[in-house]
Amino acid sequence: MTHSPADQQYREKQAGALKIGDFLFLPGDGPAEEITDIELEHDDFGVPALILVTTLDGGKVRIAIGSSVPVGEAAVVPDDDTLAEEPALLAEPASGDAPAGAEPDAVTPDAGDSPVETVPAVVVPPLPAVAPTVSGSLAPSTAPSPEQLALIPEPTDSPEDVVAAAGEAHPGRNGVAVLSERLVKGINTKSGSCLRDLSDLAHDLFIELRDPDHALAVADILNVLPYDGNRDRWMSVERSLALSSFICRELGQTERAEVYDQLLQAPDTVETDPFKARIAAKVRQRGLNEPNLYDKEIFRSIDNGNRDAEREWRLLRLETLLFLRSHGGSNTLGVGELDHRIANELEAVRA
């Protein structure tokens, strides 16, 4: 005997809220099947698009992430021997009301119909949520303590003064001059373009001019900004934090570098829904394991003899490597390999 959502107790649930242990009605007739595995498939822009569900019996189903799907609870259909041993389960109530103490999912036959051999549904609780894992040195956990945050020096000047001092230390250098002249007119930390200019200035000071002190001073204007949910603005802060972490390790300030690492990973801890946190962890880990290092673009630029284009692509690769290093590496790129690659890229872009 098979059942479909039409003749069983069921409710709808957003596909994005499904979790292992839920019982899902697959397309067609049949009982709800227990979910044993969930994978997420992205579109070509990296946006979650499909959920791939595997059930206990090996069935697989693809669901659009925004869909609502029917879910229910496990049902046990007894065999004939069990029914013979437990006739009380087939007893018809004396009235149309359910007997006291009956399970809400029990099926009561209509008058005149032959008894339907059913038992109350057995509810199997969902499996406990599995905490997301990250293979880097720091799993998403707690924010830096006040003592750790104290390792980042308090600014003694205004942000505009910090930028002006960096520009004055390197007169005549066009890139730094353009950025500093634009920023000293007023720094608005709510402006995405302003944050990008600050991040670019910090990178130019360290990479181009080999000035870690002014680079850190400028970067710290960004580093203390909290994650506000705006990914566009956060990208500039993220670049700054990854650069600062690397600079501090180069200067032997390991504890300060770890503070920047924790701040960079702040968005990893904001999701409180267990399923969404698990999906986010998988997406994050995939990005760490399969980063875009722009190999094709760099090789094409080399083949074409386009040094400027090669350098721009290498700068993007360097940013990716710094980001990975701040996460403590990944399953595919360890810390030692990352340090070696970062040294190579710095030498290449500084040449």
Residues pairing with 60 in the sheet: 54
Backbone CA torsion sign across 323, 147, 138, 19: negative
Q: What is the DSSP string of 33-87?
A: EEEEEEEEEE-TTS-EEEEEEEETTS-EEEEETT-EEEEE-------HHHHHH-G
Count the neighbouring beta carbons within 10 Å of the beta carbon of residue 70: 17
pLDDT truncated to tens, each residue of the chain (351 aa)?
Answer: 444 454 556 677 777 778 788 888 888 667 888 888 888 777 765 667 788 888 887 778 888 877 778 887 765 444 444 434 444 433 344 444 444 444 444 444 444 444 444 434 433 334 333 333 333 333 444 578 888 999 999 888 999 999 999 999 998 877 899 999 999 999 999 999 999 999 999 999 999 999 999 999 999 999 999 998 888 899 999 999 999 999 999 999 999 999 999 999 988 888 888 888 888 888 889 999 999 999 999 999 999 999 999 999 999 999 999 999 999 999 999 999 999 999 999 999 998
**Is-contact 119 89, C-beta < 8 A?**
yes
pTM of the prediction? 0.62
User: Of 219, 240, 237, whose CA–CA distance to 229 is shortest?
Assistant: 237
What the block records as the tokens of 27 is: 């397309």
List, by residue range, all CATH 2.30.30.30 domains of the chain. 1-128
Give the count of alpha carbons within 13 A of 102, CB side only: 19
CA distance 195 to 228: 14
Q: Give the CATH number of domain 1-128.
A: 2.30.30.30
Q: How do residues 155-202 score in pLDDT, each as one tens digit?
A: 889 999 999 999 999 988 778 999 999 999 999 999 999 999 999 999
